[in-house]
């Protein structure tokens, strides 16, 4: 505690926001795995299980748009704590007797969890803008990369945690244990988080939820296609392909994807070093274009390899590793740019609008992943992924560039 008190107020707030985000992310990842595994054992079909998460993704779009407005009006401390409280409620909804765990009930709980997740994420990403002076862009990039990368690594850990809790405690007790831990973090955050963090000096109107900044609008469009490109083959098509074509069981598929997410998060944390921070450079529109182009090649190369009857294990698994590494850098770079572009006063409005586009891309990708894979197969999903990344790259040409 003495070491903590010796830190600056900004660093202490950053550590609090990060710890808050970490614990939330662990429970979010664990809850997803708990729901998938538990309802799989109850005899739910894959399509029914997938439908449980539909509202989770849909409400991410709405929450980011409205949540940015609430963050600017009420303060980011309140929206972050609101997200924690809603997640506790969503977890408690799943502790009812098994007979009450119908599809509509679980979809409602997942909708609340989706709202909570995006309130928490928007608040965490927005708050960093307020804790780092505009003159220290390198530090800002580093802090954003650490927060973003650690979040994704912990989400993968959460997948393993969910499986372990289910095996050790059973579904209801596992959910109750997570709700209890999260409630303690919620109380601590209510006491310790800075009360006026992120509250706009001028009260924004509701119409201000739509960004008027060209840079943010362009970056948001690029983000939509970037995350649509990932989820169009990662969410449904890839797990089903690994199960049906490779013959992997559920634990192999879940374990592999969890490991992939952890590795993806680790690469995100090191993105500043990979994109030139060691040379005193921070990313701009040119960087976003340059990193997206090679990413667009990878899904196309996997599709061509599969059509040429090359080793499916080599093409899919090797290609997935390369895609994950490059995608992690692109994602981290984008996460820095939105925080850098956002206005300091009412920062959550810009960040909320941007992550609304992120959620929309995930929703579109999720829907396409199931529909395109079912009708045309994995190769078609890969071609759409490549097209989406290419569109993200082309949009990045419209982003501001540093003067040379």
| Residue 239: pLDDT band with limits 50, 70, 90 | confident
Q: Give the Cα separation of 303 and 324 in Å (integer).
A: 16
What integer pLDDT is reported at residue 1 of this predicted model? 47
Confidence of residue 163 (pLDDT cuts 50, 70, 90): confident
- Asked if the structure places residue 203 within a domain, the reply is no
Ranking 44-53, 103-112, 291-300, 335-344 by mean pLDDT, the lowest is: 44-53
How does residue 160 score in pLDDT terms, banded at 50, 70 and 90?
Answer: confident
Number of Cβ atoms within 10 Å of the Cβ of 391: 19
* 133 burial level (CB within 10 Å; 0-12, 13-18, 19+): exposed
Higher pLDDT residue, 145 or 3?
A: 145
CA-CA-CA-CA torsion sign (125, 130, 131, 134): positive
For residue 58, is it within any domain? yes
Residue range 177-183: mean pLDDT, rounded: 91
Structure tokens belonging to residue 351: 């960040």
CATH number at residue 391: 1.20.1250.20
pLDDT range class, residue 196, cuts 50, 70, 90 = low
Q: How far is CA 74 from CA 24, 68, 225, 335, 344, in A?
A: 21, 10, 31, 23, 15
pLDDT value of position 205: 59
By C-alpha distance, which of 319, 322, 302, 320 is closest to 383?
A: 302
325 pLDDT higher than 90: yes
- With residue 169 as reference, give the H or E element that holds it: helix 137-169
Per-residue CA distances from 262 to 79, 117, 217, 235, 288 (Å): 27, 18, 30, 16, 23
More confident residue, 63 or 10: 63
Of 141 and 81, which is predicted with more confidence?
81
In a domain, 316, yes or no: yes
If one counts the domains in the chain, the total is 1
Residue 217 or 225, more confident: 225
Predicted confidence at residue 192, as pLDDT, reads 74
Residue 64, domain member (yes or no):
yes
pLDDT of residue 37: 75
- Report helix, strand or coil for 397: coil
Stretch 327-335: mean pLDDT, rounded?
91
Residue 130: pLDDT band by 50, 70, 90 thresholds? low
- CA nearest 232: which of 108, 323, 293? 323
Average pLDDT over residues 300-314: 95
Domain presence at residue 245: yes
Per the CB < 8 A criterion, the answer to whether 72 and 200 are in contact is yes
Least confident of 156-160, 209-213, 218-222, 322-326: 209-213
Which pLDDT score is estimated for 186? 87
24-38, 55-69, 165-179, 372-386: segment of lowest average pLDDT: 55-69
Which pLDDT score is estimated for 207? 58
What is the signed CA dihedral for 93, 98, 100, 106, rounded to 10 degrees?
50
Looking at per-residue confidence, does 159 or 368 come out higher? 368
**Average confidence (pLDDT) over 246-264:** 82
Crossing angle for the helix pair 137-169 and 103-131, to the nearest 10 degrees = 150
Radius of gyration of the chain (CA): 20
pLDDT value, residue 294: 96
pLDDT at 254 over 80: no
Specify the higher pLDDT residue, 297 or 12. 297
* Consecutive H or E run containing 10: helix 9-41
Whether 268 and 152 have beta carbons less than 8 Å apart is answered as yes
pLDDT of residue 132: 65
Domain assignment present for residue 232? The answer is yes
The gap from C-alpha 263 to its chain's centroid, in whole angstroms, comes to 14
Check whether 308 has a pLDDT greater than 80.
yes
Maximum alpha-carbon separation in the chain: 65
> Tokens representing 209?
């939820």
Tell me, yes or no, whether 401 lies in a domain.
no
The number of residues making up the chain comes to 404
Residue 402 lies in a domain: no
Evaluate whether 348 touches 338 at the Cβ level (below 8 Å).
Answer: no
Q: Which domain holds residue 59?
A: 2-198+208-396
User: How far separated are the first and last CA of the chain, in Å rounded?
Assistant: 45
Q: What is the mean pLDDT of residues 95-111?
A: 85
Q: Which range has the top average pLDDT, 122-126, 232-236, 293-297?
A: 293-297
What is the rounded distance in angstroms from the CA atom of residue 71 to the CA atom of residue 32? Answer: 26
Residue 47 has a pLDDT of 62
pLDDT attached to residue 201: 58
pLDDT of residue 171: 86
> For the residues 158-176, what does the mean pLDDT come to?
85
- With a cut of 50, say whether residue 33 has pLDDT above it: yes
The separation between CA 287 and the C-alpha centre of its own chain, rounded to angstroms, equals: 21
């Amino acid at each position: 505690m003495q070491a903590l008190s010796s830190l600056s107020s900004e660093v202490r707030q950053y550590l609090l926001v990060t710890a808050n985000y970490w614990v939330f992310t662990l429970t979010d990842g664990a809850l997803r795995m708990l729901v998938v595994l538990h309802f799989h054992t109850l005899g739910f079909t894959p399509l029914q299980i997938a439908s449980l998460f539909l509202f989770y993704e849909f409400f991410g779009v709405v929450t980011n748009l409205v949540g940015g407005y609430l963050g600017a009006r009420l303060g980011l401390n309140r929206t972050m704590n609101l997200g924690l409280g809603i997640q506790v409620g969503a977890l408690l909804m799943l502790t009812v007797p098994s007979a009450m765990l119908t599809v509509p009930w679980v979809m409602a709980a997942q909708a609340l969890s989706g709202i909570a997740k995006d309130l928490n994420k928007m608040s965490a990403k927005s708050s960093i803008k307020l804790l780092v002076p505009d003159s220290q862009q390198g530090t800002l990039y580093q802090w954003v990369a650490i927060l973003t990368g650690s979040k994704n690594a912990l989400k993968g850990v959460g997948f393993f945690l969910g499986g372990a809790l289910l095996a050790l405690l059973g579904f209801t007790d596992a959910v109750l244990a997570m709700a209890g831990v999260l409630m303690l973090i919620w109380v601590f955050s209510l006491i310790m988080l800075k009360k006026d963090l992120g509250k706009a000096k001028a009260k924004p109107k509701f119409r201000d939820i739509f960004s008027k900044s060209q840079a943010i609008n362009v970056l948001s469009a690029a983000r939509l296609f970037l995350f649509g490109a990932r989820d169009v083959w990662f969410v449904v098509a890839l797990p089903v392909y690994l199960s049906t074509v490779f013959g992997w069981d559920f634990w192999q598929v879940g374990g592999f994807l969890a490991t992939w997410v952890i590795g993806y998060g680790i690469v995100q944390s090191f993105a500043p070093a990979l994109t030139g921070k060691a040379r005193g450079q921070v990313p701009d529109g040119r960087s976003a274009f340059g990193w997206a182009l090679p990413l667009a090649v990878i899904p196309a190369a996997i599709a061509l390899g599969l059509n040429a009857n090359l080793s499916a294990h080599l093409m899919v698994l090797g290609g997935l590793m390369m895609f994950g590494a490059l995608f992690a850098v692109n994602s981290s770079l984008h996460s820095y740019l939105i925080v850098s572009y956002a206005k300091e006063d009412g920062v959550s409005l810009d960040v909320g609008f941007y992550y609304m586009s992120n959620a929309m891309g995930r929703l579109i990708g999720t829907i396409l992943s199931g529909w395109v894979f079912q009708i045309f197969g994995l190769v078609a999903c890969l071609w759409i992924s490549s097209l989406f990344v290419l569109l993200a790259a082309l949009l990045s040409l419209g982003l501001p560039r540093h003067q040379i």
